[in-house]
Amino acid sequence: MSKLKLNLRPALFTFLLIAWGCTPMKAKNTDHSTFLFHCERYEEGINHFEGTKYLSLSFLIKTQSSRREQIYTAKLQKAIVSYSHSSGRNTSRYYESGDWVSTEMPGYLELAVRFLERNPVIFGFHSGQFVLENGDSLKTAFDKEVKIFYPGTLIRPPGQNDEFFSFDQFLNIFRNIRQDLPDDLKMPGDLSLRNGVVYNYRNAFNDLQQIEITDSRNHTRSIVYVRPGSNRLKYKKEQSLRVQTIIRAIETGEPSIRVAGLMPKERNKKLQYIIEGASPLVPAQKILVHADSTGKFSILLDHDFPVILTSSSGYRFYAEPGDDFSVTANQRGDSLFFTGIGAGNNRFIQEEARLEKFPKMDYHSRSNQTREAWFRKADQSTNRCLVLLKIYQNDLTPRFYESQYLNYYFGKINRKLDYLFGYVELNQQGIRKRKYTGLDTIPAQYQSFVYNREFNKFLENNFILQFEKLRDFTYATNFQSTEIPTQPEMLRLAALSYSGKILRDYFEFAVQRIDRSGNADDKTVLKNLIQEYFDNTPFQTKVLQLLEKASLLETGSLFPDITFKDLTASDVRLTQFKGKLLYLMFWRNDALVLDKQWDEYQQLIKTLDAKNVLFVTIGMEENFDKWKKYVEAMPVNGMNLFVDRNSETFLANFSRLKSRHFLLVDGSGIIVNNNGPDPSVANLLISQNPGSSGKEKILTATLFCFLAILIILGMIGIISRTRRKRKAKIETLLNRLRETELKAIKAQMNPHFLFNSLNSIQNLINQQQVEAANMYLSKFARLLHAVLQHSEKEFIPLAAELETLNLYVQLEKLRFNFDYQLSVNPSIDIHNSYIPPLLMQPFIENAILHGLQPKQGEKKLGINIEENDKQLVCTIEDNGIGRNGSQSKKTDHHGMGNKLSIERIYLLNQKNESNFKLSIDDRESGIEGTRVTISFTNNLI
Amino acid sequence: MIRAVLVDDEPNNLENLKIMLANYCPDVSVIGEAASVRQAIELVSLLDPELLFLDIEMPGESGFDLLSQMKSIRFEVIFVTAYNNYALKAIKFNALDYILKPIDTTDLTEAVKRAKQRLADKSQVEFTRLALQNLQLPCKSKRIALASADKIEFFDIHTIVRCLGENNYTRFFFENGESCLISKPLSEYEELLSDFDFIRVHKSHLVNGYKISSFIKKDGGYIITSDGCSVPVSRRKKDELLERMKILLK
């Protein structure tokens, strides 16, 4: 490749056109089998969004024939082609690989082609008769595809076999990850010690150089090991500088990471950087960096773990402790240049970003072919990344190299899992639903894993948990358990991921699980692991803290001796009630305890108060006075205590409580149930906790409870029977109401109206009244929108109803003209007054079709909305032929729509106990026409 | 001239929009057309347009996917959509601009006019960027964009205590005691906030379910919100409120 590069450099404007099938190495510009031609312009630029390079070629192409059907075609790779035609028409279009550029226009056509791929570009012409014209024009006709190589091609698709893994092979990947690691990265027996910070690289390699560090801040001495003897001289030098920086950082408190930048485009700007800590449980951190008037800035960080810096403008740097590099950007800010310690890692990141991204999975596709193609492509893309990683290996730090390496592998594994499970997203009515379609290919006993939602939530995009999934699979398939990654190994792998997110997730999951199981052994195991793997790191402290928190207030432990406050603000300690069974209810005011629940609680106290049980409510509040006020207003007589929920003691002991949480503490102060039953199942309390009182008392209490429950049940039975009856009645009413509502919608969408409206619009088109056609078409669409939308609702704002009616009337007006007036009393809040959708429409339709249409002369329709004494009054008036007139014309004035509306109003009144009133009258004497009035109390919502 | 790129998977729609722009919006020049998200990304990267007419529902990837894949957004967007409640909700939630298909000429010219104003105003462009970012956030961490008379701002939903409808306006009350007046009816926000456990307790009141401190049965029923205000509960809404509160309590 480099040879080719050299050949091409002197003649930048010269391209090699090689017959398809020639290998690049044969392609010398003296070779007779190649053609030379010059293109007009050649430009290599960088796509400022994607950071990818593009190649731009411009040709002036003149079609030989002036016949209109002349077709020019070219087969392209992914490219953007800008046309500028002699007719003056300019446009740009995007072409995929294999697309054909074609035009049917005669005359000159200037094509500017920008190739978007860095791979060799196939560019050719398909037996077209055309002229390529420039200073040194080439006039020829091709009937072969032609290949152009351009300089700077870095990555060739690897010649590896990109076959799919079988499921077994896939399992093997997990087992073989260690074997797959390059030799110089393969770790000796003790794996654990690669996880810590740089100065914890103990025993990670066989031949380490020992450096002693004295930390003047906390007067400790530690031993640092550096890897010597690498044949990578540059790396060695860099690494020793890195270590020096760390030593200096520890001794003097100077920052351990330095990034200096010069970005002219960002001058005088405040750049926001987000630091993603590689150390788990270190939350992402935001820093503001000021770039000066020339765009210079510097970032100093004191971290003992690698970080990723992401700027708000999209730059991304990776830095390890001891790194000291500078980054220079070009004027446009789309190309970065790194020098210094840690530059290599960043150069790789930049280069990797320029590789072709693998396509996003077409989750909508259920076709196996598409999915296989995607999978193959994605895997190829990962392979390309791996090739690039190998090329860059000597420039990268081992930590970075290994984490990248593993990332690529786990990427493959995750994809394979999705692929195996036939994961697709279905697009149904705009809502995405996820589904695993490949289930029939998975044995039935594994399918539950796929459908367990809780389980999957953790699994997605989280490889550690994929391990778990896999372990379950392997157990089920009788794989030897020794083959499965052990927990230490999983931890090690997780710690290697420089993002830290995975480890964080893993620990959250582990802690939650331990929390649930309450198994003390689990906790010890986890604690030991953490101590072993993360000694003396801030991470360790944090994880242990988290774990400690989880262990508090568990069943079997002693209830902490804490001072609470009672209503008189004096101190109360629960230890003073030793010998009594404590039933503690922790609650928060903002969690809304309904009156009913307080009643239940009160009931319980009354029933069992004498039974040596002490009931205490503990308000977890911020403000004592507020709490007091609230407690005094509530119907509970028991002991009420207050604890400040922001206090240290609270946070240390109770922060994991639910907002309504019951605790049972026995006579000796031991928590017998850390998640006690609700008052409604209080009999459990007695049978579970003998406490210190005699058995008789318990028996009495149980009996009492039993009787009480019997009576309550009986009463509930009677009440629920009457309720059921009423409910059934309401159900039938509701069903009928829904039916009439649907019919009302159908009435509005009546086919006669729909097709006649469309016909009127067609008429406008034929009359070439384009603007009017456009206008009515969009009105028509809007009416459909509105009707569809409102059909789901029981009540809609009056404003929406009026808008719908307006659209409807305007479309009717298109069919035959009449005067239309809508008046609404401005004092009515039409946006917050509600009406059943389409209630008025049938009457309006009647007025138009049966009142106005048959009439000669002036036609008027009026809709009037008033509010009187909280009653909304809607009046629909027409000056049509009136009810008598229409009867004599033998049209059914009380059309289907009217009947429906009348039934709907009847049902609404039944169901909502509302007071809709409807009257249909002739207008006052002397005026022809009909008046319909609908009125109801304006309180539907 | 505003340099615009059109994105729609149907060639007829592209052609139609182009003709309408040519006829009604002479200050828009169409510099590119794309028929898929992937094409659009390349095209936008290359042409650096000022305005994007973006169809939402396309096979494979949606218009929203396009935005999530762009590394930086330096253009204004007018969404073009047929009938899709879900997408429209997301757009309205972020106070972004859209037109409906079939295209209404007035809608189109108004939308272009607004886009032009936004392009002229730096702070507005920044807002669009924020809104488009917000669009891609997972539901629960979303913020809502509220456009008052002079500015558009984003608010965390959990800071909203309640909303009061006043004709065509809605007044928002926040945790910190502040309030703001937005010129949209309450019913619109009832719809937008329905996924966030906001409850319409009264024809003029919408309340954040998590900000209800207590329900008082007296005087026909009212609730006390976390900021200490009492909000009336209409007779018809009482049962629904209690039902919803039970679910929230779980």
CB atoms within 10 A of CB B194: 13
User: Confidence class of residue B52 from pLDDT cuts 50, 70 and 90?
Assistant: very high
SS3 readout for A151-186: CCCCCCCCCCCCCCCCHHHHHHHHHHHHHHCCHHHC
Tokens of A133: 């014209």
Please tell me what DSSP assigns to residue A850. Answer: I
A788 and chain B: CB distance < 8 Å anywhere? yes
Interface size between A and B, measured as CB pairs under 8 A: 150
Distance CA A73, CA A63 (A): 11
Please tell me what DSSP assigns to residue A567. Answer: T
Q: How far is the alpha carbon of A776 from chain B, nearest alpha carbon, in Å?
A: 9
User: How many residues are listed for chain A in this entry?
Assistant: 941
B16 and chain A: CB distance < 8 Å anywhere? no
Under an 8 A CB cutoff, do B236 and A941 touch?
A: yes
Crossing angle of the two packed helices A798-815 and A770-790, in degrees rounded to 10: 140
Distance CA B163, CA B152 (A): 17
Q: Which residues in chain A touch residue B71, judged by CB atoms under 8 angstroms apart?
A: 49-51, 314
A78 and chain B: CB distance < 8 Å anywhere? yes
Give A 362-421 residues with CB within 8 A of chain B. Answer: 362, 364-365
Question: Parallel, antiparallel, or unpaired: how do β-strands A660-665 and A671-673 relate?
Answer: antiparallel
Nearest CA in chain B to A835: B203
Q: Where are the beta strands (DSSP E) in chain B?
A: 2-7, 28-34, 51-55, 76-81, 97-100, 143-147, 152-156, 160-166, 169-174, 179-182, 198-202, 205-208, 212-216, 222-225, 230-232
Which amino acid is residue A336, in one-letter code? L
pLDDT over 90, % of chain B: 24
Alpha-carbon radius of gyration of chain A? 40
Under an 8 A CB cutoff, do B234 and A939 touch?
A: yes
For CA atoms A651, A652, A655, A660, give the dihedral sign: negative
pLDDT averaged per 10 residues, chain A (length 941): 30 27 28 27 42 44 37 46 58 55 47 47 31 28 27 24 31 39 36 25 33 46 39 53 66 79 84 62 72 88 76 82 85 79 85 69 59 74 73 72 66 58 47 46 43 40 38 30 39 37 47 49 57 48 56 67 83 78 74 58 63 76 80 72 75 63 76 65 38 45 60 64 68 68 63 80 86 87 84 85 90 85 88 87 85 85 90 91 65 58 78 79 79 87 77
Residue indicated by tokens 């192409």: A61
Nearest CA in chain B to A89: B31
Under an 8 A CB cutoff, do A314 and B213 touch?
A: no
Crossing angle of the two packed helices A167-180 and A398-420, in degrees rounded to 10: 170
Distance CA A60, CA A131 (A): 8
> Mutate which of A92, A364, A599 to disrupt the B interface (most B C-beta within 10 Å)?
A92
B34 and chain A: CB distance < 8 Å anywhere? yes
pLDDT of residue A178: 38
Q: How far is the alpha carbon of A32 from chain B, nearest alpha carbon, in Å?
A: 37
> Mutate which of A43, A46, A49 to disrupt the B interface (most B C-beta within 10 Å)?
A49
Question: Parallel, antiparallel, or unpaired: how do β-strands B51-55 and B76-81 relate?
Answer: parallel
Closest CB to A50 among B45, B236, B242: B45
A41 and chain B: CB distance < 8 Å anywhere? no
DSSP H or E stretch at residue B123? helix B122-135
Q: How far is C-alpha A331 from the chain's CA centre?
A: 35
Q: How far is C-alpha B16 from the chain's CA centre?
A: 26
Residue indicated by tokens 């039935």: A444
Q: Which residues in chain A touch residue B85, judged by CB atoms under 8 angstroms apart?
A: 430, 789
Give B 214-233 residues with CB within 8 A of chain A. Answer: 214-215, 217, 226
Q: What is the ipTM, given to two decimal places?
A: 0.82
Contact of A533 with A195, CB cutoff 8 Å? yes
Residue A93, class by beta-carbon neighbours within 10 Å (0-12 exposed, 13-18 middle, 19+ buried)? middle
Nearest CA in chain A to B66: A360
Q: How far is C-alpha A519 from the chain's CA centre?
A: 34
Q: Which residues in chain A touch residue B104, judged by CB atoms under 8 angstroms apart?
A: 774-775, 778, 782
Crossing angle of the two packed helices A167-180 and A463-476, in degrees rounded to 10: 130
Closest CB to A590 among B48, B107, B226: B226
Listed residue (A143, A128, A133) closest to A111, CA to CA: A133
> Mutate which of B41, B107, B187, B190 to disrupt the A interface (most A C-beta within 10 Å)?
B187
Which amino acid is residue B155, in one-letter code? F
Residue indicated by tokens 């630091």: A275
Crossing angle of the two packed helices A520-533 and A487-496, in degrees rounded to 10: 50
Distance CA B63, CA B83 (A): 14
B235 and chain A: CB distance < 8 Å anywhere? yes
Distance CA B141, CA B161 (A): 17
Question: Parallel, antiparallel, or unpaired: how do β-strands A796-797 and A834-835 relate?
Answer: antiparallel
Closest CB to B165 among A781, A789, A831: A831
Distance CA A188, CA A202 (A): 11
User: Confidence class of residue B99 from pLDDT cuts 50, 70 and 90?
Assistant: very high
Residue A614, class by beta-carbon neighbours within 10 Å (0-12 exposed, 13-18 middle, 19+ buried)? middle
Contacts of A298 (CB under 8 A, 6+ apart): A258, A259, A260, A261, A289
Q: Is the pLDDT of residue B185 over 60?
A: yes
Contact of A302 with A255, CB cutoff 8 Å? yes
Nearest CA in chain B to A365: B60
Listed residue (A360, A355, A343, A469) closest to A396, CA to CA: A343
Contact of A817 with A852, CB cutoff 8 Å? no
Distance CA B131, CA B124 (A): 10
Listed as own residue / partner, the contacts of B135-141 with beta carbons closer than 8 Å and 24 or more positions apart are: B135/B64, B135/B67, B135/B90, B135/B91, B135/B93, B135/B94, B135/B96, B136/B64, B136/B67, B136/B68, B139/B195
pTM: 0.44
Distance CA A386, CA A383 (A): 5
Under an 8 A CB cutoff, do A92 and B187 touch?
A: no
Alpha-carbon radius of gyration of chain B? 21
Under an 8 A CB cutoff, do A49 and B43 touch?
A: no
pLDDT of residue A548: 60
B115 and chain A: CB distance < 8 Å anywhere? no
Residue indicated by tokens 């539901």: B139
Under an 8 A CB cutoff, do B40 and A832 touch?
A: no
DSSP H or E stretch at residue A898? helix A896-912
Distance CA B132, CA B135 (A): 5
Tokens of A629: 């006020």
B195 and chain A: CB distance < 8 Å anywhere? no
pLDDT of residue A244: 66
Q: How far is the alpha carbon of B117 from chain A, nearest alpha carbon, in Å?
A: 24
B194 and chain A: CB distance < 8 Å anywhere? no
Nearest CA in chain A to B24: A771
Distance CA A456, CA B103 (A): 42
Cis peptide bond N-terminal to A690, omega within 30: no
Listed residue (B91, B97, B136) closest to B115, CA to CA: B97
SS3 readout for A76-103: CCCEEEEEEECCCCEEEEEECCCCEEEE
Please tell me what DSSP assigns to residue A670. Answer: B
Under an 8 A CB cutoff, do B104 and A116 touch?
A: no
Distance CA A69, CA A215 (A): 82
Under an 8 A CB cutoff, do A832 and B185 touch?
A: yes
Q: How far is the alpha carbon of A779 from chain B, nearest alpha carbon, in Å?
A: 8
CA A416 → CA A166, A478, A543, distances in Å?
10, 21, 32
Question: Parallel, antiparallel, or unpaired: how do β-strands B28-34 and B97-100 relate?
Answer: unpaired
